[in-house]
Amino acid sequence: MEPVKKIEEGLKELYDTNVGKVERQPDVDIYDLGDNIVIYVDLPGVKKENIKVRIYDRAVEIVASPTQDGGGKPVRRERISNFPVSRKIELPYRLRVDSARAIYREGVLQIVVTKAGEYGVAELKID
């Protein structure tokens, strides 16, 4: 057997035995709209009820569980909906957790959260 074919078969076997154990990180775009932060998360094929969004004071976390099999023995599985998904996004702002909202349409999760202000270090003038 030629070496490349042997490597491909080994990788396929490793991949097939670890489906459901490997987490994936979805692609994101983040926009600062002044008072709000808008985050777009690509989750094609993931069912809305399998997505959880948590808002922290300075971070947003997205977790999605895999969609059930399509039946039969999988030959190849690459879609993000076949894997547990997890991503925590740290932001340079404090967030108002009570203002956050999320919408899921056409495989894209949109999260809008209001900023509560920047954090960092400030040097104060003493009066």
**Beta partners for residue 34, in sequence order:** none
Q: What confidence tens digit (pLDDT) does each residue in 9-20 have?
A: 877 776 666 555
Domain ranges of the chain: 24-118
Q: Is 113 exposed, middle or buried (0-12, 13-18, 19+ CB in 10 A)?
A: buried
User: Which pLDDT value is given to residue 77?
Assistant: 72
Buried b (16+ CB within 10 A) or exposed e, 40-57: ebebeebeeebbebebee
Instruction: Specify whether the CB–CB gap between 44 and 79 falls below 8 A.
Output: yes
User: Which pLDDT value is given to residue 68?
Assistant: 67
Q: What residues in the chain have per-residue pLDDT under 70?
A: 1, 14-22, 68-70, 118-124, 126-127
User: Which pLDDT value is given to residue 123?
Assistant: 61
The structure's pTM equals 0.73
Fold (CATH) for 24-118: Immunoglobulin-like (2.60.40)
